[in-house]
Each structure stands twice: as structure tokens, then as C-alpha cells.
Amino acid sequence: MKPWRQVGLLAKREFLERARSKPFIITMTLLAVAILAIGPAVNLLSGGEGKATKIGLIGMEPPGIEQELHAQAVLFDMVIEVDRFPTRSGAENALAEGEVAVVLVDGSEIVFHTESSSQLTALIHGAVDTTVKTEALSELGLSEGEIAAVVEPIPMEVTALEEQNVQDEAKRGAAFAGAILLYISIIMFGQFVAMGTVEEKQNRVVEVILSRVRPWQILVGKVVGIGVLGLLQLAIFAGAAYISAQLADLPDIDVAAIGLPIIASVFFWFILGYTFYAFLYAAVGSTVSRQEDLQGAIMIPIVLIMPGYLLAIFAAENPEAVLPTVASWLPPWAPFVMPVRMAAGVAQPWEIAVAIVGTVLGAIALVWIGARVYSGALLRTGGKVKLREAWRAAAE
């Protein structure tokens, strides 16, 4: 049988063995459901888009106050409803119960339950001021046009030196979420590779397999099979996240424009990052023969991965800083940091090229190094095998 045909069969075996695992299925299902629930939860906690703010009225009202309140609300980009109360105690009870946000008493007193709102205060004050002036000017005999010319607010143009781009902020946040997902996925599936290696050594299955195939074929088949499973899980999570974002009904944000590029980026960098680390996980996993000893061995890749997560947090806050910029070029951390800098729009094309080429070359180097250590340590049971001993054993 051709070597790569054997690699394919080994990859299929690894994929099916992990995919059929009940803990994996349960964990993946719970996480997908949790991601799907985020969108509706955001809507629930925000109280729904466009919810009206209720204003209570009691006592004597300035003529036309309700119409003017609605007119002022338009200026404040708010939606309001007006409720009237026969007694002050009833209005205060409504305030305490949260049925209304504020109460206007006799057209001269604004009452809040706890903390006052400067926006609502300005809105009500503007409405009362306009209605009182309108009535006074009407009594002086001015026409409606003349009254409107006097009380109509002077238009003011509001500009900003730098416009905030909601889409860019959302892209950066989505890329950071993707970096976290990458961090979790690479650790999870890298550990699957290491655990699978130890299990095969412990139950001596690897000795049977080695009678038919070479060590590098086992290594590549294991990495490819578990990697495909990782891509499947990422696809499920990404789909759940996309649906959840749609359900969240985010204002001024085109979820499709943000989600699809970020999802593609996460997949691309997962392939590079997983390939880089999976062979390292397999190499260190082959140096031990018991699951009890594995936690100490896999600290080597975790020590390399952890800074990538921290640097992604730094990049989300300040993507142009020197530290995340340099880290985004280096193979161990490029899969976590570069997507965030790309989403922020600060990564230059040459930087992206350096990150991709560096990560690919680093992965190729780890394939060779990992395969040699794997070959030298695979059949050695008992205590922990030192990396140097495994390296020398492979040459014998």
C-alpha cells in the first residue's frame, strides 16, 4: 500500500475514534448551545431595540406638552411614551416600580426615583420651555409662523475630527474572540494528539501498527485526523457564533461583512497554528508512557502558547504597539496576534506575508524535529524519555 494511502487510513482512524467519544460530543454540543444562546441573551439583557422611555405627567400641564415631548424626543433620538397619573403617590409608586423613568409635576418639577438622567432632564426642560414660550408669544398676538421662528431651536452642526467606525470595532472584537477560540482549540486538539500517543504506547497498540507502517506515517496520520476533527468543531462553533450574532440584532453592524472574513481568517490561522503545535505535542507526548506523566510533558507547548493569548489581548487594545507587532511576525504567536492586527487594519501586506511564511517554515521544521523525536521515543516505555535521548535514538 502506498505510504500516503496508509497515512489517510490512520487519519481516518484517529478522526473516528475521537469523534465518537461521548465526552467530546457532549462538550461540543454544550459549547455550541451556549454560543447560540449568547445572541438572544444580549437582546434580553438590553431590553430590546427601540424600547420606549416612559414619562409620567401629574397635575397642571403646559398646553401641548405631550406633543412637544415627542418633538424633543426626536432631537434626542429617543422613543417615549407619556402616562398620566391622578395623584402624586400613584406616580411615585410607578417610579419605584420602574413603570416610568421620570415624572413631570405641574409642569415645574422633574422627579426621578434614584439617580437623575441629564438627557431626560434636558428633554423635559426643553419641552416645557418651548410650550411656555409658545403660549406667552401667542397671548402677545404673534402668528404661528412668528412663534415658530422664535421658539424653534437654532440648528447646530456637530462634527468629529475622527469618526468612530463601528464596523472596525466589531471586526477587532470578533477577531479577538477568534483568537481566544484558536487558543482553546489548539490546546484542546494538541492535547488530543499527545494523549493519543501516550495511550498507544501504554496499551502497546503502537507496536502492532509499527509492524505495518513507519513512525512518521503514524505521526502525520494522527495530526491530520485530529486536525480535521478540529476544523469540524471550529466550523460548528463558527456557524453557531454567526447565527448568534444575527439573533443579537446588533445595530449599525453588518454581521455578514464582519463574520465571514473573520471566520475564514480563524480557519486559516487554525490550520497553521495547529500544524505548528501538533507535532510538538506529539513529540513531547511520545517521551512519556503514562497519562500521569503527560501533564508535565505538555507544559513545553503550553509555555509557548500562553504568551500568544496574552499578546492577543494586548493587540486588541493597542494593535500598533511594538510588542504585538513584533509578536505577530513570529511563528509561535502569529496565529493568535496577526488576525487581531489584520482586523484592526494596521497589519501591512508584507507583515502578513512574513507571518504566514514564518509560520509555515516553522511548522515544516517542527514536522521534521517532531518526527525524529517521535520515532526515537515511540517504542521506549517505562520512565520519561529525555528529548535528547529520543533524538539520538532516532539516529541509531
Residue 160 lies in a domain: no
Q: Please name the amino acid found at residue 205.
A: V
pLDDT at residue 226 greater than cutoff 70 = yes
Residues 231 and 86 in one domain: no
pLDDT at residue 266 greater than cutoff 80 = no
Return the pLDDT at 177: 75
Residue 275 lies in a domain: yes
Residues 36 and 70 in one domain: no
State which of 71-75, 103-107, 237-241 shows the largest mean pLDDT: 103-107
Residues 58 and 22 in one domain: no
Percent of all residues in the chain with a pLDDT value above 70, rounded to a whole number: 79
Q: How far apart are CA 151 and CA 149, in angstroms?
A: 6
Return the pLDDT at 46: 59
Per residue in 316-339, pLDDT tens? 888 889 999 999 999 889 988 888
pLDDT band at 113 (very low <50, low <70, confident <90, very high): confident
Q: How would you class 154 by CB atoms within 10 Å of its CB: exposed for 0-12, middle for 13-18, buried for 19 or more?
A: exposed
Q: Please name the amino acid found at residue 369.
A: I
Q: How far apart are CA 396 and CA 394, in angstroms?
A: 6
Residue 340 lies in a domain: yes
Residues 216 and 362 in one domain: yes
pLDDT band at 233 (very low <50, low <70, confident <90, very high): confident
The C-alpha cell at 322 is 511594538
- Give mean pLDDT, residues 33-52: 71
pLDDT at residue 315 greater than cutoff 80 = yes
Residues 322 and 377 in one domain: yes
Per residue in 276-312, pLDDT tens? 888 888 878 777 767 777 777 788 888 888 898 888 8
Return the pLDDT at 255: 56
Q: How far apart are CA 217 and CA 367, in angstroms?
A: 11
The CATH number that applies at residue 69 is 3.40.190.10
Residue 159 lies in a domain: no
Residues 187 and 279 in one domain: yes
Instruction: Tell me the β-bridge partners of 57.
Output: 84, 104
Return the pLDDT at 159: 62
Residues 36 and 176 in one domain: yes
Residues 195 and 318 in one domain: yes
- Residue 215 neighbours by CB under 8 Å, 6+ apart: 371, 374, 375, 378
Residues 294 and 351 in one domain: yes
**Which value, in Å, is the radius of gyration of the alpha carbons in the chain?**
32
Buried b (16+ CB within 10 A) or exposed e, 164-200: eeeeeebbbebbbebbebbbebbbebbbbbbbbbbeb
Instruction: Single out the residue in 122, 151, 180 at which a domain terminates.
Output: 151
Write out the DSSP string of 187-229: HHHHHHHHHHHHHHHHTTHHHHHHTTS-HHHHHHHHHHHHHHH
Return the pLDDT at 357: 92
pLDDT band at 351 (very low <50, low <70, confident <90, very high): very high
Instruction: Single out the residue in 126, 151, 176 at which a domain terminates.
Output: 151
Q: How far apart are CA 368 and CA 379, in angstroms?
A: 18
pLDDT at residue 191 greater than cutoff 90 = no
- Residue 366 structural domain: 3-44+166-395
Instruction: Single out the residue in 98, 118, 151 at which a domain terminates.
Output: 151
Residue 210 lies in a domain: yes
Residue 156 lies in a domain: no
pLDDT band at 343 (very low <50, low <70, confident <90, very high): confident
Residues 353 and 265 in one domain: yes
Q: Locate cell 405641574: which residue? A: 106
Residues 131 and 262 in one domain: no
Q: How far apart are CA 215 and CA 3, in angstroms?
A: 11
Tally the domains of the chain. Answer: 2
pLDDT band at 354 (very low <50, low <70, confident <90, very high): very high
In what helix (H) or strand (E) does residue 55 lie, and over which residues does it extend?
A: strand 53-58
Residue 157 lies in a domain: no
Q: Please name the amino acid found at residue 9.
A: L
Return the pLDDT at 165: 56
pLDDT at residue 39 greater than cutoff 80 = no
Average pLDDT for the chain: 79
Residues 212 and 255 in one domain: yes
pLDDT band at 387 (very low <50, low <70, confident <90, very high): low
Residue 161 lies in a domain: no
Per residue in 131-182, pLDDT tens? 888 888 777 777 777 777 666 766 666 565 555 555 566 666 677 777 787 8
